[in-house]
Amino acid sequence: MRNRSLIVFLGICALLTWAIPATAQNPAPVRPTAQGSAAPRGAGGDGLGFTDTPMLPGLPYHVHDPGRPHPPVVTPGAQPGAPPSDAIVLFDGKDLSQWTYDRRPMGGGGGRAMTDEMRARLQKAQESQPPLGWKLENGYMEVIPRAGDLLTKEKFGDVQVHVEFQFPENIQGQSQNRGNSGVLLQSRYEIQVLDSYRNPTYADGQVGAIYGQWPPLANASRRPGEWQTYDIVFEAPRFEGEKLVKPAYFTVIHNGVLLHNRKESMGPMIYRQVAHYAPQPAEDSLMLQNHSQPVRYRNIWIRRLKSYDQPEK
């Protein structure tokens, strides 16, 4: 008898420990019925949130606030890697209408850091070069040696960029002379493009490096001849007058592998020197570097990044 009472008592306790936290900690939001008659606790009656919840720290919103703006709808690309509905397509394999050329020295990104004297010398040397133009065929474009860097006509600040690239199957050169090119955000901040499949070079110059600053977290190279992908998130630096108030940051994914996780850039790409920031426009062209080696590109698109809680349109 005594045992039976104890069992009943323990049973009630177990039930209470299960039931009380379940209801106290996770009050299920009331979904609207077909008739719209059910109202959530403390919300306006539309069943889509709560206003009797705590305020989020530093924000004008409650937890689960029904009045918080909803993000815009973006339709993803039909296949992985295809541009989503709000992307600006920079190259779809058909034409180069979104691009212009800029003739600067081989490895041109450093051109931004050139002295006037270097620039003058370069201009002279360029007079003997072939006409501008990259090869366009079979849905890709290919670097033509000494034919200039490619710059987007449109200029950008904070962005997400998708780029696909391929190195020649027939390997030529080694170290920095095998498939060297580069994706330069704002024509300054380079993510290195280099055939780094079994091709040793200095770590901060291999594929995916923030060139001259940070090696990638991994070498995710595919064999030459195979198409590879970059997905890059770039936060542009901010200046107040001459003063840098926020540096640039890179997040980079190569063939699905994370290479940089919001890594701070030390400044614009420069060769054999320490990078440093200089005041610049808030937006500038995306650049594909011409390093006079036959790298191919296809399927390039870009999205302008927006901040959280933008008003709904």
Residue numbers of the site for Mg ion (CB under 5 A)? Answer: 180, 182, 192, 289
Q: Whose CB is nearest to Mg ion? A: 182
The least CB distance from residue 180 to Mg ion, in Å, is 5
Query: Which lies closer to Mg ion via its Cβ, residue 221 or residue 289?
Result: 289
- Nearer to Mg ion by C-beta: 194 or 248? 194
216 neighbors 204 (Cβ within 8 angstroms): no
How far is 299 from 180, CA to CA, in rounded Å? 19
179 is written with which tokens? 């498939």
Contact call for residues 152 and 286 (beta carbons, < 8 A): yes
Distance, CA of 9 to CA of 3 (rounded, Å): 10
The smaller minimum CB distance to Mg ion, of residues 180 and 213, is found at: 180
Q: Which one, 201 or 289, has the nearer CB to Mg ion?
A: 289
In whole angstroms, the minimum distance from the beta carbon of 131 to Mg ion comes to: 23
Question: Closest distance between Mg ion and the C-beta of residue 193, in Å?
Answer: 6
Distance CA 30, CA 45 (A): 10
Distances (CA, A) of 17 to 5, 12, 26, 116, 285: 19, 9, 14, 77, 61
Minimum CB distance to Mg ion, residue 215 (Å): 14
Secondary structure class of 91 (helix, strand, coil): strand
Q: CB-wise, 184 or 248, nearer to Mg ion?
A: 184
Phi, psi of 80 (to 5 degrees): -55, 130
State the minimum distance, in angstroms, from the CB of residue 190 to Mg ion. Answer: 6
CB of residue 183 to Mg ion, shortest distance in Å: 9
The residue (of 152 and 289) whose beta carbon lies closer to Mg ion is 289
- Residue 120 makes CB contacts below 8 A (sequence gap 6+) with none
β-pair type (243-246, 284-288): unpaired
Looking at the Cβ atoms of 83 and 182, the one nearer to Mg ion is 182
- Residues 295 and 273: their CA atoms lie apart, in Å, by 26
Cα distance between residue 139 and residue 78, in whole Å: 18
> Within a 13 Å sphere around the CA of 96, how many CA atoms are in the beta-carbon half?
18
- Min separation Cβ 108 and Mg ion, Å: 9
